[in-house]
Amino acid sequence: MKNLAIYLHIPFCKKKCKYCDFNSYAGKQELVDDYMRALVGEILSYAKAANDYLVTSVYFGGGTPSFIEAKNIADVMTVLRENYCFSISPEVTVEANPGTISAEKLQRYREAGINRLSFGVQAVQDEILKEIGRIHRFADVEKGYFEARKAGFENISFDLMFGLPKQTLKDVEESLEVFIALGPEHISAYSLKVEEHTVFGRLQKEKKLILPSEEEEREMYYLVKKRLKSAGYRQYEISNFAKEGRESQHNLAYWKRTDYFGFGAGAASCFENCRCSNEESLEGYIEKEEKKVYEEKLTKEVIHSETIILGLRLMEGVQKELFFTEKEKAAVKKLMNYGLLQEDNERISLTERGLDLANQVFVEFI
């Protein structure tokens, strides 16, 4: 049987963060039940197509999945278990905002088979959390983290953001030290990307958004890599670090082009080399019988290009034989001369400098 990853989009939030460009909605809690019914309907409609597949990972993302009732998450897991074939030990993740969890909710997750939590921590300084529009404070993180451990969670991930307004290198260092002291199994570290249709996008247009310089942001990234490495976290992807054996299996499925289904408003799927995406609006997703609004059968050229680009995101890189066209061979040679790619006997991967300029590398293989 082939492997399958499943993503479930839960688009509800208590409050929209100032940087968030995800398909999420605050103040629409009254639609939760209707949305979950529509989500279950979509899950059931694809069950037959997955007959020859083994589900190896499930990921509840958002939005804020932990904002809605735990029963809603548990009910979806029941539907999945009853209609899809699961591997012996699948990774099942719920994204959680520390300000929206409780001991009872965590216990219900465990009973439903959730075995991994991804906490959107972002920073440990309350003033920075307030500045970026997060609803939690760091005391909520500590409380939620220890409650999760008490509930039996042995696989927890923290998100860290850098390049934030009013954030200094010292702030990032402090966040790292606190993260390391707590000891989550996985840490994702992302630099802020200002998107147009966000509060930060508007403030930037009005020249009211003061961010660290590009040089300061790079220093923050170097500090993240250096400090996490010394603390025993292995960088396995551009933005992701894990203790031994705790890499995100769900994200690895994307980077290694494993087939995946995306269920929910705006969710994307790539199954048997056919890419599709769903209706984005909450009301539209609930009301429309046909959820798909886009579908594309991928060509061999696109598949090949994606395999290289996604594979290069991983520290292990990609097999040398994948670069078989004259154009690709020339690109590899040029990028190696620039110090952006490196090779060993079997694989080609990004160098330290290549990690900084990854997008410039990727464009050579589109």
- Mean pLDDT over all residues of the chain? 96
Distance between CA atoms of residues 277 and 293, nearest Å: 6
Distance between CA atoms of residues 19 and 190, nearest Å: 12
Instruction: Give me the percent of the chain exceeding a pLDDT of 90.
Output: 99
Q: pLDDT tens across 155-189, in order?
A: 999 999 999 999 999 999 999 999 999 999 999 99
Tell me how many degrees the CA angle 182-118-311 measures, rounded to the nearest 5. 110
What average pLDDT does range 317-327 have in this prediction?
94
Q: pLDDT tens across 292-315, in order?
A: 999 999 999 999 999 999 999 999
What average pLDDT does range 125-139 have in this prediction?
94
Instruction: Give the tokens for residue 161.
Output: 């953001």
Instruction: Give the tokens for residue 205.
Output: 């247009």
Domain positions in the chain? 2-255, 300-366
315 beta partners: none
Q: Beta strand pairing status for 318-319 and 347-350? A: antiparallel
Q: Is the pLDDT of residue 230 over 90?
A: yes
Nearest residue to 117 (alpha-carbon basis) of 182, 46, 23: 182
Q: pLDDT tens across 245-267, in order?
A: 999 999 999 999 999 999 999 99
Q: Give CATH for domain 300-366.
A: 1.10.10.920
Q: Is the peptide bond before 113 cis (omega within 30 degrees of 0)?
A: no
Nearest residue to 61 (alpha-carbon basis) of 115, 9, 132: 9
Q: Give CATH for domain 2-255.
A: 3.20.20.70
Nearest residue to 115 (alpha-carbon basis) of 140, 91, 87, 133: 91
Q: pLDDT tens across 276-297, in order?
A: 999 999 999 999 999 999 999 9
Q: Which residues contact 330 (CB under 8 A, 6 or more apart)?
A: none
Confidence of residue 241 (pLDDT cuts 50, 70, 90): very high
Model confidence, pTM: 0.96
Strand order in the sheet with 156-162: 234-237, 240-242, 186-191, 156-162, 116-122, 86-96, 53-62, 2-10, 259-263, 268-271, 274-278, 292-297
**Terminal C-alpha separation, the chain:** 31
Q: pLDDT tens across 55-109, in order?
A: 999 999 999 999 999 999 999 999 999 999 999 999 999 999 988 999 999 999 9
